[in-house]
Structure 1
Amino acid sequence: MEVNFNLANACLLTDTCINLTNRTMELNLDLANASAVVTVNYSKIELWLVGCGGTGSWLAPSLVRLGRVLSQQGKQVKLYFVDPDHVESANVLRQCFCDAEIGLNKAKTLALRYSLAWKMEVTAIAQPFQPKWIVPTYNTLIIVTACVDNAKARESITQVLQHNTYRPAPHIWHLDCGNSKRSGQVLLGSHLSTNPNEYDFEA
C-alpha cells in the first residue's frame, strides 16, 4: 500500500500527531521525559541477544558493532545469540535472512555472518533461553536484549534480574523489544519490583 504524506494535513509535532491521507497517527513522546542511564564503568561486558527472528535478526548487526566499539575501547566483550528456531521460507525478506539460509538455525546463521564481518567472536546457542546461563561475575555488566514473541519467554528472561536484588548498583539490565503490525515498544529495566520504596535513588 502506498502512503502519501500530505504536508497540508499534518499536525505540528508539538500536537503529537500527523495525518497520513486522512488517517491520524498519535506520536508517543514519553521519551522526551526519559532519564539517562548511567552505569558503573565495568571492564567486562556481556551482550546477549535472545530471539533472532523478526526483530532480533535486524538488531544483531548493531549489537556486534557495539561490541566491536567497546572492545576497541579496552573492554572485554562477550556476545551471545540465542534462538532454537530455523530459518523458513516465510522468514526470508521479512527477517534478515536469505534463501540460501533456509533450514539453518537462526542464531548460528547470524553469529557466523556477523562474527566474520566484524571480527568479533559470537557464541550461538540453538536452544530456548535458560536464566541459569546468566551468571554475574565481578566487574561485569550484562545486558540481555529480548526479541521474543511470547509471554513465557519474556518471563523466563526477566528472572535474570533477581541477581540485582542484593547489589548496590545493578549489574544486569533487561532490554525488551516487541512489536505488532503497526506499533512497537522498547523497555529497559534492572529490577523485578514495581515498588519505588524498594529502590535507593540518588539525587
Structure 2
Amino acid sequence: MIRGVVFDKDGTLFDFRKAWGPWVETVVRGLAKDEAEAVAMGRAIGFDLPTHSFAPDSPVIAATVRDSARILLDFLPGRELDELSDELDAASMAVTLVETVPLVDFLQGLRDRGIKVGLATNDTEEPAREHLARFGVLHLFDFVAGYDSGFGGKPGPGMLNAFLAHTGLAAEQVAMVGDSRHDLTAGRAAGMACVGVLTGIAKKDELAPHADVVLADIGALPAWIAGRAA
C-alpha cells in the first residue's frame, strides 16, 4: 500500500513548457550581447529560441540551475559560476508557474487519505518553497528538498532517502512521481515505486521502461494508488 508520495516539481506539479520556456528566453536574452548569441546560448542549454522548444536532453529539464549556469559561462568570460548560479536562482523565483491540476484540492485529498507528501527537485530549495507557498500548498508538504539541501540531486537517491528517514516510511510504501528519467532513476535507486507523468517534455515511450506506470498527469494518481491497495 502506498503511504507516501514524493513529487518532482517542474513538469510534474507545474506545466514545464508554460513556465520554463519563457524563463529561458528571458535569461539568455538578458545575458547575451545580441540575438545571435542569445540563440546560441539557448541552444547550448537545449532550448531553441526560434521555435520556443526544448530538446529532450536539455539540462533545464532534469539537471540543476548550477549545471545550466556552468554551460552558459562559456559565453560569459569573466563571470563566476557562483555569481551566475545565484543570478539564475533569483530569476527562477519570479517564474510564472501553471498548475498541472488544482493543487490545493489534489494534495489535500492525498493527506486526507493519510499519505505523506514530499518534494524532491533539482531546483534549489528556497525557490521551490516560494513556488509552493505561492500556490498555497507549502503547508501540505511533510518534506521539501532541493539539490542544495544537503542530499545531492537527482538521478541520485539522496533526497528520496532523506524523505524516508524523515517520515519513517519504508521504500516499498512510497511512490516517486516525475516527468523525467532522472526522477524515475532516483526512485528506482531508492527502492520506490515509480510513476511517470506526461506534463513535462519526455514522451511515454521514453518514460515507460523506467516506470511502473505512466499517467497523463498527477490527477490520475489517486486512482492508481487505490488500485494498488485493492
Alignment TM-score, normalising by the size of structure 1: 0.41
> Which one scores higher on RCO, CA 8 angstroms, separation ≥ 6?
2
Larger radius of gyration: 1
Compare the two structures and name the one with the higher helix fraction: 2
Alignment TM-score, normalising by the size of structure 2: 0.37
